[in-house]
Every structure is written in C-alpha cells, then in structure tokens.
Amino acid sequence: MNGPLRIGVAGLGTVGVGVLQLLDRHGGLIAARAGRPIVVSAVSARDRGKKRPADISGLRWFGDPAAMARDPEIDAVLELIGGADGVAKDVTEAAIAAGRHVVTANKALLAVHGAGLARAAESAGVTLAYEAAVAGGIPIIKTLREGLAANGISRVYGILNGTCNYILTSMRDTGRDFAEVLAEAQELGYAEADPGFDIDGVDAAHKLAILTALAFGCEVDFGGVYIEGIREVSALDIAFAEELGYRIKLLGIATQGEDGIEQRVHPCMVPQGTPIAHVDGVFNAVVAEGDFAGRVLVEGQGAGAEPTASAVVADLIDIARGIALPTFAIPAAELRRLPALPAERHVGGQYIRLMVLDRPGVMADVTAALRDEDISLEALLQHGRSPDGAVPVVITTHETTGAAMDRALARIADLKAVLEPPRRIRIELL
C-alpha cells in the first residue's frame, strides 16, 4: 500500500489528457490525500503521433489497450475510450480478468453492461469506479452510495445533459428556435457534429439507468427507460411555458413503485419556483429524495475535460486509499430485477399545444376528446384571432394517465381543424 498506484490510461482524448494534466499539476496534493503517489505507467490511444497538450514522451505506449490492461506493472486502468461495446468493453473485461481496478467515464458501457461488469469486478476482488460517468464533476455517485447510504431513496431526478440544457436555456433567453440554437451550440463546441445522442435523450437515459440501479438496488435496465428528446420543443412552447409559470427542462426521472421502477427521460414543464428550474446553460443538477435526509440537490459542471478529470482522479484516490465498495452500493448478486413500468401508466398533468383553424366548434371537439377520457382541463390559452388561418391553442390538464392522454391526442390529431400533430410536454411539480 505504500508504493505508488500505477495506472494505465486507455484513451487520450479530452478527458484522458485532462487526467494527465491534473495528475501533473496536483501530484503532491493528490499523493497527500491518497496516502501514496498516483503515477501514470502507460498510455494507449489510436494515434501515437497526434499532438496533445500533455507530454507522453516518457510513458510506455501500447497500441493494444487490452494488452496494456494485462500488463503486470499496472494496478488500475482508466477506460476513457467510450462506447457501449467494442474496444471499451474489451479493455474493461481484460483489466478485471487480470485483477486490475478499473475507473471509467463511460456511461454507455455501464448502462448496457453494468450488472455483468459489477459481478465480474466483485468476483475478481477489484473496484469498478465510475464517478465521471454521470454528471461530470458533480459527485452524485458518492452522494448516493455513501452520503445517503442510510436512506431509503424514493425518487432521483435531474438535468443530466448539458447540451440540451444549454439549448433550452438559450431558446428561452433569445426567443430563437431549436435549429438555430443547435447550430450555435455546435459552433461553440457544446454539441457534437452528430448531436443525436444528446438531443434525442439517449445520453441522459444512460446516466439515469446508472442512477436508478444505485438508488434502488436494482440491476441496470437501460432498455426500461422511456426516452424522448427535445427536437420538437419550439420557441412557442417555451414562451407559453413562461406565461404559465413554468420552464422547460429535459429531465431524467426515476421512481420506485410498489410493482416496479419508472424511468423516464423527456422534456418537462417545471414550476419556476423550483430550484432545478434555475439550473441553466451547460450545468447539470441531480436531486435525490431520501426518507431521512430529505431532498438533496447537487449542481455543477456536467461535462468537459477538467470536471470529468476531477471525478476520475477522485476515484483513483479512493482506490489508492484502499476504499472498496460494491459497484452499485450493494453486492452485485443482491441487485434485484425489477419490472420496468411503462410511461403510459404515469400519472401527472400535461401541457398540450395545438395549431387549429380559428372557427366555431373546434374547441368543443377538442374538449370532447379530453372529456371522454376523463381528462380535466386546468387552463386554456389562445392569443389573438386568425379567421383565415391557424392559431396556437394551449391546454394544461389536471392529473391523468399517459395512456388516457395518448388516446385523446390520437382522436384530436384526426380532427380536420387540427393542422399539425399535437405537441405534448409533461408537467412535473417536483
């Protein structure tokens, strides 16, 4: 335990280089807090000759990261490659089989293979650590696994994707529509050239699946997450939300019910008075509700080289100290398989926006479809008139089931006076 913790870094992208820079800048401080030095023994990446803002000239180079993971002069492997399968999975499995600890920032890998990897790590007597996989520099994994370990968790939810939060914030602040703000986010580096994983909710769903397993002691079930992205959110919806006293956020929400787990990622109307409504820009925030601690909110930078590197090195410090905890807070063999509750069963208020012809009888037909599904209206908004064209009409409802609203919207969409598919955003009072 007195010797250095020797690490191999697989992947020298933004996060991998950030880790090297952090260890170089704060080596003495980290050694003092870890009880021994943490040193980089080897690195692996696709392109050895690529220019990087970190000096790797004195480090051993491996073209094959799985071979590096099996190297006897390495104690822990950092998997910073990404992706649910392929090289990232091979490296992780090779490291565990060789008795090496693993630290990863790979939410896709854990969301898809987390339960199996946890069992393998615990059987091998090594740590599988992943603070950086969820919400970057925010210590939400430690908060759930350690700080709230004595609590029963009833719900965990949050803003889990900074790209979407930036886009929705900018749309609200500038009045511009989705496509224009997305293009700006790509220019600024907040969104990828192919932004689908972010804006379609997949990235947030990966993270939510991990948080769900940790909070409720169940196997990771990415396939059980209902996913809806932000492509259909318009500047008009955001303006109506403000008028109604809400803000629109892409949230991941997990709740344990009597007969299963509800996991949802979708745009939400949240009251302007709630703390999470004021988490803006690229920031993330996660809320956990414990039966003794109450509601705990952690907020911070959810991505980027420095926050993510900070989380990676925090895990390394725990490993250097000899702190060993089950991957998902309880032994992997005890993780339960809980049914996934469909989104159709969720009960809550709803926001509906319609584009309709402005003529007598239209709203009577719309409200009849809602009435027949026992859906009660809370508010109805229409600004101005356009006898020769379309007008937006907004309806908010009291609590109803998702299934009832699905049936009502299908009927409303068939009305000749309704000119485009209805837009629906769920209301979360939080």
Q: Is 311 inside a domain boundary?
A: no
Q: Is 352 inside a domain boundary?
A: yes
> Is 207 known to be catalytic?
yes
What integer is the mean pLDDT of 371-392?
86
Domain total in the chain: 3
| 124 and 184 belong to one structural domain | no
Domain boundaries, position 239: 140-301
State residue 257's pLDDT score. Answer: 86
* Predicted confidence (pLDDT) per residue in 347-356, tens digit: 999 999 999 9
* Predicted confidence (pLDDT) per residue in 80-94, tens digit: 999 999 999 999 999
Q: Is 328 inside a domain boundary?
A: no
Residue 402: give its domain's CATH number.
3.30.70.260
Residue 125: give its domain's CATH number.
3.40.50.720
State residue 383's pLDDT score. Answer: 80
* Predicted confidence (pLDDT) per residue in 25-45, tens digit: 999 999 999 999 999 999 999
| 412 and 272 belong to one structural domain | no
pLDDT of 385 above 80: no
* Predicted confidence (pLDDT) per residue in 174-216, tens digit: 999 999 999 999 998 888 889 999 999 999 999 999 999 999 9
With b for 16 or more beta-carbon neighbours within 10 A and e for fewer, the 188-224 pattern comes to: eebbeeebebbbbbbbbbbbbbbbbbbbbbbbbbbeb
Residues 6+ apart with CB under 8 A from 19: 9, 78, 80, 309, 312, 313
Task: Check 89, 107, 207, 249 and give the catalytic one.
Answer: 207
Compute the distance between CA of residue 305 and CA of residue 284 in angstroms, rounded to an integer: 15
| 379 and 398 belong to one structural domain | yes
| 74 and 207 belong to one structural domain | no
| 87 and 126 belong to one structural domain | yes
> Residue 387 is which amino acid?
P
Q: Is 310 inside a domain boundary?
A: no
State residue 303's pLDDT score. Answer: 82
Q: Give rounded-to-5 percent helix, strand, coil for the chain.
A: 40, 25, 35
* Predicted confidence (pLDDT) per residue in 125-178, tens digit: 999 999 999 998 899 999 999 999 999 999 999 999 999 999 999 999 999 999
Q: Is 242 inside a domain boundary?
A: yes
| 170 and 275 belong to one structural domain | yes
State residue 389's pLDDT score. Answer: 77
| 57 and 20 belong to one structural domain | yes
Q: Is 336 inside a domain boundary?
A: no
Q: Which of 301, 319, 337 is the last residue of a domain?
A: 301
Q: Which of 133, 163, 195 is the last residue of a domain?
A: 133
State residue 407's pLDDT score. Answer: 97
With a pLDDT cut of 90, the percent of the chain lying above it is 90
State residue 387's pLDDT score. Answer: 64
Q: Which of 133, 154, 185 is the last residue of a domain?
A: 133
- How high is the mean pLDDT of the chain? 95
Q: What is the 3-state secondary structure (H, E, C) of 358-390?
A: CCCCHHHHHHHHHHCCCCCEEEEEECCCCCCCE
State residue 366's pLDDT score. Answer: 95
| 262 and 409 belong to one structural domain | no
| 146 and 173 belong to one structural domain | yes
State residue 370's pLDDT score. Answer: 96
| 217 and 282 belong to one structural domain | yes
Q: Is 339 inside a domain boundary?
A: no
Q: Is 327 inside a domain boundary?
A: no
What integer is the mean pLDDT of 48-56?
87
Which residue, chain included where needed, has tokens 């379609």?
200
| 256 and 148 belong to one structural domain | yes
Compute the distance between CA of residue 349 and CA of residue 401 in angstroms, rounded to an integer: 9
